[in-house]
Amino acid sequence: MACASPSIKCSTTRPTNTLGSSRAGRVHDGTRIEFLHSYLHGLKRAAAEGIPLGGYFQWSLMDNFEWAEGYKPRFGLVHVDFATQKRTLKDSAYWYREVIATHGANL
């Protein structure tokens, strides 16, 4: 019986608290975009060099409660106002949407 070749699954964990100003209903988080661009570009390069990447999982979709730090860290692509539960897409969410739509062509 033949076994399938193993592949690597990757996930990010941070950065956190990279929020810039919030104007006109937008949440600016340029540092997160820079981090994700660098990270995903590295994965794209590794795949081009033959590393068997089987998937990538973005952590986290929304700001959430963290057991060790409570509600302080904010590393989701969607900002959550915990008082009102309003969700607002961060600039990184719009950027990541384009990465997905172009299959990484903009990396």
User: DSSP string covering 11-61, please?
Assistant: E-----S----EETTEE--HHHHHHHHHHHHHHHHHHHTT--EEEEE-S-S
φ/ψ bin of 87: left (φ > 0), alpha (ψ from -120 to 50), beta (otherwise):
beta
- Does some domain include residue 107? no
Tens place of pLDDT per residue across the chain (107 aa):
666 778 989 887 677 766 665 667 789 988 899 999 999 999 999 999 999 999 999 988 999 888 888 888 888 999 998 999 999 999 999 999 999 999 999 89
- Does some domain include residue 19? yes
- Does some domain include residue 67? yes
pTM of the model: 0.85
- Does some domain include residue 2? no
* Containing structural domain, residue 75: 8-101
Q: How many domains does the chain have?
A: 1
- Does some domain include residue 18? yes
pLDDT at 21: 59
